[in-house]
Amino acid sequence: MERGARSGRRRVLLAALALWAAMPWAACVCWEAIPADGPVVDGVEVPDAPAPSAGGLIALTFDDGPRRSTTAALLDGLAERGIHATFFLIGRQIPNNMDLVRRMDEEGHQIGIHTYDHTQLTGLNRGDFAAQVDRTRTLLQDTLGHNHFLLRPPYGAVDPGVRAMAGCPIVLWSIDPEDWDDKDPARIVDHIVDNAKDGDIILLHDIYPTSVEAALQAADRLRRRGFYFVTVEELFAARHIPLEDGHCYRTAYP
């Protein structure tokens, strides 16, 4: 599939999502928004999130991949459901999984950077930061032929240095079921579904079979509640929130 054609279809989709978000049925659930930009470890208090909502736009995101067995199964499940997600990839895992990365891109998923070695970025000098972020960005650019990647710092750790050196928007999350902990799909699904709100960003990891299972089950349940799945880029475009380099984004509440 030609990238120009995909870009054209994505522009049409973004315009449709923006129109959808402005319709009365979307406006009927309107909550006070968490500020789109806010520090993570700077001691700034973030307001409480709104109550769970019925329906709206929501973004599934996956960290720490790609891993061939689990990521391929997840892509199959998302394709069956027509769902687009956002994947924050580990650089060292890209060379042996370039076909998976290309498949993500070709199937309409968004791709981001999660460092080269899953290294905490706070406190790093410019050279060490470049070895983690810029090296991964170059790998992705060489693999996909374009350069438009968000950054998710491991552990959500951000400081002024990370902001200054990011070179792209920084995307965090608003729902974290800690799927790496007990690896209990039922608990993970319940946590996601019970807390889901219009504009949320869900954090999961596509390196665990249990997380893949939970992600697809949660997607099915949320769809029955009226949620529509979009990439992070599509979520913020639908809310007319520009994503700026060096700024942190947790949610896109209406």
Catalytic residues: 63, 205
Q: Which long-range contacts (CB under 8 A, 24 or more apart) does 190-197 make?
A: 192/218, 192/222, 193/218, 193/221, 193/222, 193/225, 194/52, 195/52, 196/52, 196/53, 196/58, 196/222, 196/225, 196/227, 197/31, 197/49, 197/50, 197/51, 197/52, 197/53, 197/56, 197/58, 197/253
- For residue 17, what are its two tokens? 């999502």
- Positive or negative CA dihedral for 94, 96, 234, 60? negative
Alpha helix (H) ranges present in the chain? Answer: 3-22, 24-27, 68-81, 98-106, 126-129, 135-144, 160-165, 185-195, 209-224, 232-238
- For residue 244, what are its two tokens? 């700026």
Separation CA 171–CA 169 (nearest Å): 6
Give the Cβ contact number of residue 127 at 10 Å. 8
> Residue 95 class from Cβ within 10 Å (0-12 exposed, 13-18 middle, 19+ buried)?
exposed
